[in-house]
Amino acid sequence: MTDVNVHRKLLEQERGRLLSLKENLTEAVEDVDHVSSGDPSAGGHIADAGSELFERSRDLSIVEDLDAQLADIEHATARLTNGSYGTCEACGRPVDPERLAARPATRFCLEDQKKSREAQASRASRR
């Protein structure tokens, strides 16, 4: 288990990267709020409101996605502490080290990740 410190460092780096991304996005969303609550007599802005709203909701869903990734990192950090880090949560087998290096917060082996992605895709297409 000499890799624990390496993994912890990778997770911390990833966490820092996601947090700064989130900060930038949150600032961008607040800027939009500021603009749209501006002087209503300025006019000529109504046609833009729809696309502005769209941009904003897209930003918000990115923030939600970042939150989910941050939660995964918290989760991975906890597993690092209890010694289960690096094993697949579905089948219990070790996750490919290369995969862990690329995605330190990953919870599943490649095979089970694929299965869960397929399950998500079939859920989405039923909508």
109 near Zn ion, judged by CB under 5 A:
yes
- What angle do the packed helices 46-82 and 4-36 form, to 10 degrees? 160
The one segment of 15-23, 29-37, 46-54, 102-110 that binds Zn ion by CB under 5 A: 102-110
Long-range CB contacts (within 8 A, 24+) of 13-16: 14/73, 14/104, 14/105, 15/70, 15/73
Between 53 and 91, CB nearer to Zn ion: 91
**Applying CB under 5 A, does 100 fall inside the site for Zn ion?**
no
Nearer to Zn ion, 56 or 99 (CB): 99
Residue 99, Cα to own-chain centre: how many angstroms? 17
Is 91 a residue that touches Zn ion (CB under 5 A)? Answer: yes
Does residue 89 interact with Zn ion by CB under 5 A? Answer: no
Would you count residue 110 as binding Zn ion (CB under 5 A)? no
Q: How is residue 90 annotated by DSSP?
A: T
The contact set with Zn ion (CB under 5 A) reads 88, 90-91, 109, 112
